[in-house]
Amino acid sequence: MLLRMEDGIINIVMERMRPESALRFKTDRSRYPIPNDDAEQNRDDMKHAMMLELTNGNLFFSPIIENPQKIIDLATGTGIWAIDVADKFPSASVTGVDLSPIQPSWVPPNLKFLVDDIEDEWMHGGDFDFVHMRCISPWLKDEVKVLRQAHEHMKPGAWIEIQELDARANCDDGSLAPDAPLAKFFDTAEQAVASFGMKFRAGENLREPLEKAGFTNVSCKVLKVPIGTWAKDKKLRLIGLYLKTAVNDMFGAMAAKPLRKILGPEEIEVFLADARKDLNNVNIHSYEKYYFWMGQKAAE
């Protein structure tokens, strides 16, 4: 088992709006509208830690075979999920694919990373036992194309799992009004991302794309994730702190490019300040939904 910084204490830094000139994006030609800087990479790793707490350490829920031989993580980001799954299945060949070469060089020997756009023609081999995607569906131009290519390169009986947050500030007790600043942030972010031809809330509606791509036995497990530390349960408070910090960092990421499509700089500053007040208010009981979509390639 490799030791990594993520295994220790996570330094949670509340991120302010980052100037676009100081940011890195996936590539100059990329359609990806949010930055790929250190803050964004830390946010991805934090969401991984949150997911492990939420799922009691499960990296996935799909009923894959006991000893998978080939696993691929599409849009692997920092590679943290791929590293953990390579540790879990040391006899498997694990591949992580991403537009940016930001993954660590110190990884398990059964893991390799490839730099590629998962929306381009498939160049990653075939006969996969398991395909994993996380927090990427909103940024895809054509999710059916990506899923169909994955389907074509999987073994019969293999599984795909897509893990996505719903990008909504949900509330069951009325403590967050539908037009409250935090709720409006997610709604406005959806509009901003749509200007890039993307679907910010694609993760909540993946059944049809999976079935169109040819997958059978499509199902979805949904878990609630508190935004903030309002929950009574100690574990949920930790999970909520992770998500609160991730949402706060998302404010800066969205301000860097997407929100500028529909708001001016001063409007963005006021808009996010109001949303941040809601985010820090423990009397607001908001949450996101975490979707775990699963589908199987039919056995021959």
List the domain boundaries for the chain.
Answer: 15-296
Of all residues in the chain, the percent with pLDDT exceeding 90 is: 74
Do 192 and 34 touch, CB atoms closer than 8 A? no
- For residue 22, what pLDDT is reported? 34
pLDDT at 105 over 80: yes
pLDDT at 31: 60
Q: What is the pLDDT of residue 41?
A: 84
> Are 68 and 159 within 8 A, CB to CB?
no
C-alpha–C-alpha distance, residues 96 and 273, integer Å:
37
pLDDT for 140 beyond 50? yes
Q: Does the structure show a pLDDT above 90 at 151?
A: yes
Greater confidence (45 vs 1) lies with 45
Count of CA atoms in the C-beta half-sphere (13 A) of 204? 12
Please give the pLDDT value at position 39. Answer: 75
CATH of domain 15-296: 3.40.50.150
Res 56: pLDDT: 97
Least confident of 18-27, 72-81, 111-120, 254-263: 18-27
Reply yes or no on whether the pLDDT at 14 is more than 70.
Answer: no
Q: Is the pLDDT of residue 11 over 50?
A: no
Among candidate residues 60, 83, 78, the one with its CA nearest the CA of residue 129? 60
Full DSSP string of 78-99: TSHHHHHHHHH-TTSEEEEEES
10 Å Cβ neighbour count for 28? 5
Sign of CA dihedral 53, 164, 226, 45: positive
Average the pLDDT over 272-288 and give the result.
98
Reply yes or no on whether the pLDDT at 9 is more than 80: no
Can you say how many angstroms the Cα of residue 180 is from the centroid of all Cα atoms in its chain? Answer: 25
The pLDDT of residue 276 is 98
136 in Cβ contact with 76 (< 8 Å) = no
Amino acid 1: pLDDT? 30
Q: Give residue-wise pLDDT tens across range 49-77.
A: 999 999 999 999 999 999 999 999 999 99
pTM (whole model) above 0.85: yes
- The single residue listed with the structure tokens 């199902």 is 219
DSSP for 106-157, written as a single string? ---TTEEEEE--TTSS--S-S-EEEEEEES-GGG-S-HHHHHHHHHHTEEEE
